[in-house]
Amino acid sequence: MSAPFNILIVDDDRAMRASLVDLLEAAGWRVEALPRASQVIDRLAGLAPDVILSDVRMPDMSGLELLAKLDATAPPVVLISAHGDIPMAVQAMQEGAYSFVEKPYDPRRLLSILRHAAEQHRMARGTDRLRARLAELSGLDRILLGTTPEIAALRRDVLDMATTAAPVLLQGETGTGKELVARALHDLSPRADAPFLALNCAAIAADRFEAEMFGTAGEATGRLVAVSGGTLFLDEVCACPAPVQAKLLRVIEEQEVTPSGAPGPVRIDLRVVSASNEDTGAAVEAGHLRQDLLFRLNTVVLTLPPLRQRRDDLVLLFTHFLDHSARVYEVAPPELDHDDMTALLAHDWPGNVRELRNVAERRVLAARRGAGSVADAIRARDAPEDVPDTLREAVAVFERELIGKALRAHEGRMDAVAEALGIGRRTLNEKIVKLGLDKDALL
C-alpha cells in the first residue's frame, strides 16, 4: 500500500484553511497549512509536499507570485480563488500552475485534481531517482564528469536515448567528447554486449569501402556484417566522401549489405550514431553532406557544450585528470595554487576537454622533475624529447609532426590536409596508418 499523499495548504482565511484541512485529512492526506505564501519557500524542503494548494489573493504575496518563485523541482501548484475568472485561470496555467479551481469548489472535483497532481509528482520523483541510480550504476557521472546544468542535461539525454534505437547525431566542437558519448549510448543500451564500430568518415577510401565494409562471399566478412546487432558510429560524417555517403544511406535505409560475389543481400541490424564538429545544415548547403543522409541521422540531436561554457567544471575536471595522470606515472598529484587556478580560468580552451586532459598530463610530467606550473603546461608544445638514432626514425618523427600540424590546422579535413602537404589523399591515409598517428587525439 502506497504512503498517504502530503499536501501543503496556503490560505490566509482561517475558516477556509480549516475547512480544507478537514476535507483532506478525512480523505487520508497528510496536511500542513500556512497562512502566508511568503512562508512557503523556507518551509518547503522540510515539509516535502506532493502538491501545494494555494489561494490566489493573499496579503504579502499572492498565489501567482508564489508560483513564480518556485523552481522546476517544486511540487505542482493548484490555485484556488473566490475571485477567479477565465483570464486569471489562463494566466495561472501559462505560469506553470497544475490547475485552477474556483470557490465555492466541488469537494470531489478538488480531491480528484489534487490526487492526479500528487500522483504525477511522485511518478516524476521516482523517475528522477531511477535515472540517478542508473547513472550511478553505469558510471555515467564519471564518464561525463561535471556539475554544470549543460553537462547534467547531457547525462539525462544520454540515459533517455540509450534505451531507444533512434539514430542520434552528436554535434560539438573538436575535443568535447563526442565518441565518449557515442560509446556511452552503446554501453547503456540493450546492444551493450554486441560490437561497437567507430568509423572515421574523413579517412574512408571510397574505392575500398564496399570490400572492407560489405565483405567478399566465401572469403572475408565485411565489418558491417561482423558488428550486426551493435552500434555503428560515424565520426566526422560531414567529411565522408560523396560516393560513400550514397552507400551508407542505402545501408541505413535497407539495413542490408551485399558482399562481393554474394547471390543476394545479407540482413544486418545496426543502431547508428553519428558526429560532426561542423554545422550540418551549412554542410548540406555547401554540398558536402547529402540532405537525405542527414535526415536519416538526425532523428535525435545532442549538442555537447564547449569547455568555455562549462567554466564551473574546469577545476573539477582538471583535478580528475591530474589524479589519473599521477596514478599512471606513479607520482603524487601536484597541488593547485592561486596562479594555477588563474591560468586555468583565463585560458579559452579551444581544444576543449581533450586539451585540458593533455595539459594535466604535461603538468604531471613536469612535476616528476620537480618543476612546472599550469601556465607552463598550457604554453608547452608537443615535441620529441630525444633525437632519433637513425635517419629513418628521424624522417618518421618529422613526418608525424608535419602531418599532425596540418591535421590540426585544417581541423581534420583530409582533402585540405593532403593538398597542404602536397601529397595525394591515398598517400596521406597510408602515412597516417604507417606512422601510427591517432587523428582523434591530435584534434
Residue 353 CB-half CA count within 13 A = 26
Name the pTM for this structure.
0.57
Instruction: Look at residue 41 in the predicted model and tell me its pLDDT.
Output: 86
Task: Going from the first residue of the chain to its last (443 residues), give the mean pLDDT of each consecutive group of 10, the final group possibly shorter.
Answer: 81 92 92 91 83 90 89 88 74 86 89 91 70 53 80 90 93 91 91 90 84 82 88 92 90 89 88 93 91 94 93 87 87 86 89 91 88 87 49 72 80 82 82 76 64
Q: Residue 112: which residues within 8 A CB-CB, separation 6 or more?
A: none
Question: Strands, DSSP E only, in 57-158?
Answer: 77-81, 99-102
Contact residues for 289 (Cβ-Cβ < 8 A; gap 6+): 237, 238, 240, 245, 280, 283
Length of the chain: 443
Q: What is the DSSP letter of 154?
A: H
**pLDDT for 390:** 62
pLDDT for 383 equals 41
Cα angle: 366, vertex 324, 402; to 5 degrees: 60
Question: Rounded to whole angstroms, how far apart are CA atoms 101 and 115?
Answer: 14
- Per-residue confidence (pLDDT) for residue 404, from 0 to 100: 81
pLDDT of 85 reads: 64
Q: Residue 196 in contact with residue 188, Cβ under 8 Å?
A: no
Residue closest to 68 by CA, chosen among 59, 56, 84:
56
Distance between CA atoms of residues 214 and 223, nearest Å: 7
